[in-house]
Amino acid sequence: GAVVSQHPSWVICKSGTSVKIECRSLDFQATTMFWYRQFPKQSLMLMATSNEGSKATYEQGVEKDKFLINHASLTLSTLTVTSAHPEDSSFYICSARNAGSSYNEQFFGPGTRLTVL
Amino acid sequence: GENVEQHPSTLSVQEGDSAVIKCTYSDSASNYFPWYKQELGKRPQLIIDIRSNVGEKKDQRIAVTLNKTAKHFSLHITETQPEDSAVYFCAASRAAGNKLTFGGGTRVLVKP
Tell me: the pLDDT tens digits for A12-22? 999 999 999 99
Using CB atoms and an 8 Å cut-off, which of residues 18-47 of chain A contact chain B?
31-32, 34, 41-44, 46
Q: Is the pLDDT of residue A99 over 90?
A: no
Output the pLDDT for position A97: 86
Confidence of residue B98 (pLDDT cuts 50, 70, 90): confident
Determine the Cα–Cα distance for residues B45 and B35; give it in Å rounded to an integer: 8
Interface test with A, best of B6, B31, B37, B43 (most A CBs within 10 A): B43
Q: In the prediction, which pLDDT does B94 show?
A: 86
Q: What is the C-alpha to C-alpha distance for residues B59 and A108, in angstroms, rounded to an integer?
A: 21
Q: Do B44 and A93 touch (CB under 8 A)?
A: yes
Q: What DSSP string runs through chain A?
A: ---EEEE-SEEEE-TT--EEEEEEESSS--SEEEEEEE-TTS-EEEEEEEETTS--EEPTT--TTTEEEEEEETTEEEEEE-S--GGG-EEEEEEEE-TT-SS--EEE---EEEEE-
Residues of chain A found within 8 Å of residue B89, distances taken between Cβ atoms: 43-44
Categorize the per-residue pLDDT at A102 as very low, low, confident or very high, splitting at 50, 70 and 90: low
Among A29, A103, A112, the strongest candidate for a mutation testing the B interface, having the largest count of B CBs within 10 A, is: A103
CA distance A74 to chain B (A): 14
Put simply, the answer to whether A108 touches B45 (Cβ < 8 Å) is yes
Please state, as a whole number, how many other Cβ atoms lie within 10 Å of the Cβ of residue A38: 19
pLDDT at position B97 is 62
Q: How confident is the model at residue B39 (pLDDT cuts 50, 70, 90)?
A: very high
Contact flag B94-A102 (C-beta cutoff 8 Å): no
On the question of pLDDT at A113 being above 70, the answer is yes
For residue range B50-92, list pLDDT tens digits in order: 988 889 999 999 999 999 999 999 999 999 999 999 999 999 9
User: Which DSSP state fits B56?
Assistant: E
pLDDT, averaged across chain A = 92
Closest listed residue to residue A96, CA positions, set A16, A11, A35: A35
A31 contacts in chain B (CB < 8 Å): 97
List the single range of A65-79, A100-114, B24-38 with lowest mean pLDDT: A100-114
